């Protein structure tokens, strides 16, 4: 919340997202990687439904001024669990934003989408806008100004919400987003959310000690 996450940390706050009904981006309980580790993969190596989602949203993001920052990345922690979790990074040079598209392919023809935007600021601060509803269960890391968007009807609207958040800060406070460094930025965000979730006692280790599960309220 999130994911490889060395790359969405864990899908950026992916990690913190948790999963329900077997869905990585839903609010339930499944395995959450302890670290952000991802493996590059070619577009054609992704499930067909994932490819279709990426192609459709990529066109919209390009119109908004984004450019692909790198190849898609697969989160190996979910291999062999009947699903494949992929991250696709986009960067907006003019606005200083990293846009992470997370797609979880499960049954043939089915895919779940997560969007998470990060703008790094000076002094280690970040503005983050996410569709990961589970992030609302956790107090954001002290350096993070978070907006969770669950009612947006389009990528354009989510980006508009993020740009609105940017107006609360001076442009000079934004750090440069280097496409080649997207893993560093995503990994730092992921790790910060994992630490926040641990402090809030929202995570517990799995039996093998390799992953976490999300503790749901109630």
5 domain residue, yes or no: no
> What pLDDT shows up at residue 5?
32
Per-residue pLDDT 10s for the chain (218 aa) are: 343 333 333 334 344 333 333 455 544 446 778 888 889 999 998 888 889 999 999 999 999 999 999 999 998 877 765 678 899 999 999 999 999 999 988 766 677 889 999 999 999 999 999 998 888 888 999 999 999 999 988 999 999 999 999 999 999 999 999 999 999 999 999 999 989 989 988 888 888 887 888 776 65
Q: Does residue 7 sit within a domain?
A: no
- Residue 196 is assigned to a structural domain of this protein: yes
Instruction: Assess if residue 8 is contained within a domain.
Output: no
- pTM of the model as a whole: 0.84
Burial class (CB in 10 A: 0-12, 13-18, 19+), 72: buried
Scanning the chain, the segments in alpha helix (DSSP H) are 14-17, 48-63, 155-166, 182-199
| Helix, strand, coil shares, percent, the chain, to 5 | 30, 25, 40
Within-domain flag for 1: no
In this structure, the number of other CB atoms found within 10 A of the CB of residue 65 comes to: 14
Q: Which domain holds residue 108?
A: 14-214
User: Is residue 9 in some structural domain?
Assistant: no
Does 98 map to a domain? Answer: yes
pLDDT for position 118: 98
Q: Considering its fold, how many domains does the chain have in total? A: 1
Instruction: Please check whether residue 6 lies inside any domain of the structure.
Output: no
């Amino acid at each position: 919340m999130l994911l490889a996450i060395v790359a969405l940390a864990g899908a950026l706050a992916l990690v913190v997202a948790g999963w329900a009904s077997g869905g990585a981006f839903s609010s339930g309980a499944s395995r959450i990687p302890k670290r952000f580790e991802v493996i590059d993969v070619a577009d054609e190596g992704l499930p067909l439904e994932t490819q279709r989602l990426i192609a459709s949203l990529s066109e919209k993001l390009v119109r908004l001024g984004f450019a692909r920052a790198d190849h898609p990345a697969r989160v190996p922690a979910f291999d062999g669990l009947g699903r494949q979790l992929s991250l696709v990074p986009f960067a907006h040079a003019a606005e200083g934003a990293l846009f992470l598209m997370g797609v979880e392919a499960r049954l043939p023809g089915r895919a779940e989408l997560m969007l998470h935007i990060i703008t790094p600021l000076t002094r280690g601060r970040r503005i983050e806008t996410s569709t990961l509803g589970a992030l609302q269960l956790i107090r954001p890391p002290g350096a993070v100004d978070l907006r969770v968007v669950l009612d947006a009807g389009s990528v354009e609207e989510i980006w508009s919400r993020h740009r609105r958040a940017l107006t609360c800060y001076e442009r000079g406070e934004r750090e440069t987003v280097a496409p080649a460094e997207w893993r560093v930025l995503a990994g730092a965000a992921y790790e910060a959310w994992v630490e926040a979730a641990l402090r809030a006692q929202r995570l517990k280790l799995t039996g093998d000690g390799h992953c976490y599960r999300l503790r749901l309220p109630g």
